[in-house]
Structure 1
Amino acid sequence: MRDQLQRTLHFKDTPKRIISLVPSQTELLCDLGLADQIVGITKFCVHPCHLLSDKTIVGGTKQLHLDRIKALRPDIILCNKEENTREIVEACQSVCEVHVSDVYTIADSLELIGQYGVIFNKADNASSLINTIKAKWNTFENFVQDKPVLKVAYFIWKTPWMVAANNTFINYMLQLNKYENVYSRLERYPEVKLTDDMDKTKTVDYAFLSSEPYPFKEKHKDKLQVYWPDTKIVLVDGEMFSWYGSRLLRAFDYFKTLRVSLQKDVF
């Protein structure tokens, strides 16, 4: 079996004891019917909510308690190239096999679901999930095809202000929604100086303040509005734009609702 970095994994039997170090992948495991086989998660694995009390927390996505991981005797540890560091992956490899995902598009996400279906002997569940996501994806594309392109900025952090730029899953999802990312000229998650960008932002239709990783609230809209007086500031559900896997089952309905709200100017 190969992961999404084309690393070869070897298993004698179907892995039974799973540690997931990526919140969206933890959710995916549960939707594949594997909740009972999860033995360890991160403190950010908040969906389904009961897992935080039912499973052992082994740390965050960037810092781990390797002793807790070893004590759980996992058969496999699930990581992600963006969420987890190279050092984390290498440390986990000293314990057991490590699968690393690498997701930038919906196609990548569907491939990951398929790989989990094979690894954990849940091929039928994975196939059903993939088909449902494809159907929702197709319906959404029909919905959005005649919608105008809107210029947006997608903020993920404050102090310093940081945005999602090119070469990210978020940017891909923005494009899918026909939102032109005004920071797509930059890479990954750059820090931006709002005062330096004031002239450029006059043509920005909406500034999206994500619910994660920084938990933007209503009070932050006013702070950004000072710099961008002609731009409409909107709080958005960051999980819908950044969580891949089975979150796509709900994302497209959310995107429809968001677009309709923007059209009605209810913000």
Structure 2
Amino acid sequence: MKLIDALGVEHRRLAGDETPRIVSLVPSLTELLCDLGLADALVGRTGFCIHPAETVRGIAKVGGTKDVNIEKIRRLAPTHLVVNIDENEKPTVEALAAFVPVVIVTHPLDPRDNPGLYRLLGGIFGADDAAARLCAAFEQEYAALAALPPAPASRVLYCIWQDPWMTVSRDTYIARMLALAGMRQWQAPDEQRRYPVFTWSDALAGEIDEVLLSSEPYRFTEAHVDAIERQTGKPARLVDGEMMSWYGSRAIAGLRYLRELRRE
């Protein structure tokens, strides 16, 4: 199997005597690399890479997903850099590519992209067996979700930020996760932006059945739920943002979480 990343770059498998030094600038992929058994190869991660907590505590922080400390990464002398098109800044990645030998670019847009992601990273770093186990677990959860009786179509507004209020476009991983649970994300007027800003109005409320308030990146609370329900007259609830937006190995638990949403 060819190991091709999101930019179409073909990567080679590491030889058995090669020891990788990986910097991951993507929280969900840091978790995936650990679940592939590659924690010992991780020499750098962002401050947002918080799972698995006990494991990442011993891995050096190199800044955030956007504000990366380039010189600190240089001192770590990585052989591989793992990044994402949405989460990391292109100029930063280009600057790092000047001294990191291998840059692996990812861009999953659909839950079905996850098995390919497992095989890509597992193949590059010699963790094919672990990748196969994750693929099997993913397919099992995906089949269990698909086997549920069809849910009534529901129009939802998924909120990720306040001041200004922000949502997600339909061309996002989150929107496609929602679709698996029978939920159709509201289409913002500024849909060409992946994370549109919106304003509450009676017209908007008339276009939705429910409001979903994510736990990240903005930490909404039950107080926000009550305020939105009073303002819109529509039901609102808190949802786990990690389960809805983290790809990689977290997506397996995310599919189980979707089943619970469907049952509700």
Tell me the TM-score normalised to structure 2 length: 0.92
The 1:174–1:15 alpha-carbon spacing in structure 2 relative to 1, beyond 3 Å, is: farther
- Do residues 247 (structure 1) and 255 (structure 2) align? no
CA distance in 1, matches of 2:137, 2:8: 27
**Which residue number corresponds to residue 216 of structure 2?**
212
User: What secondary structure does 1:131 align onto?
Assistant: helix
**Equivalent of 2:40, from 26, 36, 41?**
36
CA contact (8 A) 1:9 1:98 kept: no
Deviation of 1:216 (Å): 1.0
Rate the CA distance shift 1:184–1:194 in 2: closer, same or farther, 3 A.
closer
Distance in 1 between the 2:77 and 2:157 partners? 44
SS where residue 57 of structure 2 aligns? helix
* Deviation of the 1:169 alpha carbon: 0.4
Instruction: Tell me if 1:182 matches 2:186.
Output: yes
User: How does 1:34-183 map onto structure 2 within 5 Å?
Assistant: 34-96=38-100, 97-143=102-148, 145-183=149-187
Would you say the 8 A contact 2:180–2:258 is kept in 1? no
CA distance in 1, matches of 2:213, 2:68: 29
Structure 1 CA distance for aligned equivalents of residues 250 and 214 of structure 2: 16
State the shift of 1:202 in Å.
2.5
1:242 & 1:200 partners in 2: Cα distance? Answer: 24
In structure 2, the partner of 1:4 is: 6
Aligned in 2, Cα 1:219/1:19: closer, same or farther, shift over 3 Å? same
Task: Report SS of the residue matched to 2:132.
Answer: helix
Give the 3-state SS of the residue equivalent to 1:79 in structure 2: strand
Which residue type is aligned with residue 64 of structure 1?
V
SS of 2:249's equivalent?
helix
Name the residue aligned to 1:24: 28
3-state SS of paired residue (2:217): coil
For structure 2, the 5+ residue unaligned runs are none
Residue of structure 1 aligned with 2:198, choices 182, 192, 202: 192
RMSD over aligned Cα, in angstroms? 1.7
What displacement does 1:223 show? Answer: 3.1
Which residue matches 1:264? none
TM-score under structure 1 normalisation? 0.91
**2:186 and 2:14 mapped to 1: Cα distance?**
49
How many residues are treated as equivalent by the alignment?
257
- Give the drift of 1:128: 1.3
Q: Which runs of 5+ in 1 are unaligned?
A: 262-267
Deviation per residue, 1:96-137 (Å, 9 max, x gap): 111010110123221111101110001111011101101110
Indicate conservation of the 8 Å contact 2:167/2:196, yes or no: yes
Structure 1: distance between partners of 2:204 and 2:163: 21
Q: In structure 1, give the amino acid aligned to 2:83.
A: C
In 1, the alpha carbon distance for the partners of 2:188 and 2:133 equals: 34
SS in 2 for 1:112: helix
